[in-house]
């Protein structure tokens, strides 16, 4: 009886640990475009949208003049998408994808006389508006959710709409948490899971679909029972892995996988062994977590306090004092901007207390 109690306590502790890892998903994903970075991206998206509108106007003029297919228009469109990068390193090709372009420039700018643009134009405008709202305030993110809900029947088979609806579902529950009852929150997240799962089935090559499926599944796991918590944790990792295969240079995905690995690897061996036997939980290590956090650091242009804190925590767990102190200092100098940064600031202070004398000596040497 005592052994059974210890067994279930161990599983519960592990599940709660997974919940912490998955719950942290929202902080960087939702908040990463805040302040200066968000303004820079919004400026680039606006500039790109203006270029596209200008091209459409020119094509319309050509149609009215002669009704001939404009081959050079395709080349001009391609030059706009490839000639520059945004202020945070995102290419215009990636921004085109973000506002709902088709799979390649040739298809997106194929202005055939026999082809109606009305439906595509409406969808592009909807996605452009939604993307702008999702980068905004909590109220704007809520507006994005309801706007997508209004158009759901029209675009229920469009993966670009479905994964954005999953993103908006998560944003709604993350930013409006106090105003949403647990039952309503679980209902919204469950719908978000279903939308993202459908998007993955319709377009298995969409890294955004896999990413937002993982994020919604992770949040759902927090609201579920023990078995569902662990099984959703495994599903979360599967789709983060799939997203990374499609876009290996996404720093936020490496951070998410690092958080998962860190929480699992931090549990006692007995708990991890039980979960692995019963639920097939993958075997991971602190070294695995550290590798992903370091990749996130290299791939993220803007200094990221929370990620640096976890690098320090990994070195602390590995008993590497000099590296722990180094990364504590690197995390400390980063300004707190997002909700995740604010939480990281508290954890950073707690860990710094442990290394207070080392930090003091390091500063004297400098």
Mean pLDDT, all residues of the chain: 74
Angle between helices 35-65 and 118-134 (to 10 degrees): 170
Average pLDDT over residues 137-143: 87
pLDDT bucket at 337, cuts 50 / 70 / 90: confident
More confident: 15 or 299: 299
pLDDT bucket at 6, cuts 50 / 70 / 90: very low
Report for 5-14, 35-44, 163-172, 353-362: range of highest mean pLDDT? 163-172
Range 357-360 contact pairs with CB under 8 angstroms and sequence separation of 24 or more: 358/321, 358/325, 359/325, 359/328, 359/329
Residue 22 reports pLDDT greater than 70? no
pLDDT bucket at 138, cuts 50 / 70 / 90: confident
Residue 311 reports pLDDT greater than 70? yes
Residue 51 reports pLDDT greater than 60? no
Task: Compute CA distances 39 → 45, 86, 90, whole Å.
Answer: 10, 11, 14
Contacts of 109 (CB under 8 A, 6+ apart): 55, 73, 74, 77, 78
Average pLDDT over residues 46-57: 52
Residue 235 reports pLDDT greater than 80? yes
State how far the Cα of 257 lies from the Cα of 112, in Å rounded to an integer: 44
- 215 with 237: CB under 8 angstroms? no
Residue 178 reports pLDDT greater than 70? no
Q: At which residue do the structure tokens 């929370």 appear? A: 306
Report for 5-9, 140-144, 194-198, 334-338: range of highest mean pLDDT? 194-198
Q: What is the pLDDT of residue 183?
A: 83
Structure tokens of 102?
A: 């088709």
H/E segment holding residue 164: helix 159-175
**SS3 label, residue 204:** coil
More confident: 66 or 146: 146
- 281 with 234: CB under 8 angstroms? yes
Residue 107 reports pLDDT greater than 80? no
More confident: 208 or 231: 208
User: Which range among 75-89, 121-135, 339-353 shows the weakest confidence by mean pLDDT?
Assistant: 75-89
Q: What is the pLDDT of residue 212?
A: 96
pLDDT bucket at 78, cuts 50 / 70 / 90: very low
Q: For residue 85, what are the β-bridge partners?
A: 91
**Percent over 70 (pLDDT), the chain:** 64
The runs of H, that is alpha helices, within 248-355 are: 251-265, 269-279, 286-299, 305-317, 321-332, 339-354
């Amino acid at each position: 009886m005592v052994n059974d109690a210890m067994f279930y306590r161990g599983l519960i502790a592990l599940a709660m640990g997974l919940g912490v890892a998955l719950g942290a998903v929202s902080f960087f994903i939702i908040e990463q475009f805040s302040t200066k970075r968000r303004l820079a991206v919004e400026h680039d998206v606006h500039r790109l949208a203006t270029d596209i509108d200008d091209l459409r106007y020119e094509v319309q003029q050509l149609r009215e003049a002669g009704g001939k297919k404009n081959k050079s228009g395709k080349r001009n469109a391609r030059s706009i998408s490839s000639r520059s990068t945004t202020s945070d390193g995102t290419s215009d090709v990636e921004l085109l994808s973000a506002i709902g372009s088709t799979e390649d420039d040739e298809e997106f700018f194929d202005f055939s006389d026999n082809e109606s643009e009305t439906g595509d134009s409406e969808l592009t405008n909807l996605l452009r508006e939604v993307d702008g709202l999702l980068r905004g305030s909590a109220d704007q993110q809520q507006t994005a959710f309801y706007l997508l809900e209004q158009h759901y029947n029209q675009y229920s088979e469009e993966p670009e709409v479905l994964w954005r609806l999953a993103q908006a579902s998560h944003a709604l529950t993350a930013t409006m948490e106090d105003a949403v009852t647990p039952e309503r929150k679980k209902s919204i997240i469950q719908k978000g899971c279903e939308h993202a799962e459908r998007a993955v089935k319709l377009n298995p090559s969409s890294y955004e679909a896999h990413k937002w499926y993982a994020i919604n599944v992770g949040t759902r796991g927090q609201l579920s029972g023990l078995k569902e918590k662990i099984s959703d944790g495994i599903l979360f990792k599967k789709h983060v892995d799939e997203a990374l295969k499609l876009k290996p240079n996404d720093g936020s995905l490496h951070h998410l996988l690092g958080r998962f690995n860190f929480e699992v690897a931090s549990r006692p061996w007995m708990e991890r062994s039980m979960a692995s036997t019963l639920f097939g939980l993958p075997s991971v290590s602190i070294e695995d977590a550290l590798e992903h956090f370091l990749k996130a650091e290299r791939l993220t242009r803007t200094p990221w306090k929370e990620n640096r804190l976890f690098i320090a925590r990994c070195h602390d767990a590995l008993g590497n004092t000099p590296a722990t102190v180094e990364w504590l200092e690197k995390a400390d100098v980063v300004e707190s901007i997002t909700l995740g940064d604010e939480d990281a600031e508290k954890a950073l202070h707690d860990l710094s207390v442990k290394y207070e004398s080392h930090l003091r000596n390091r500063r004297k040497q400098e």
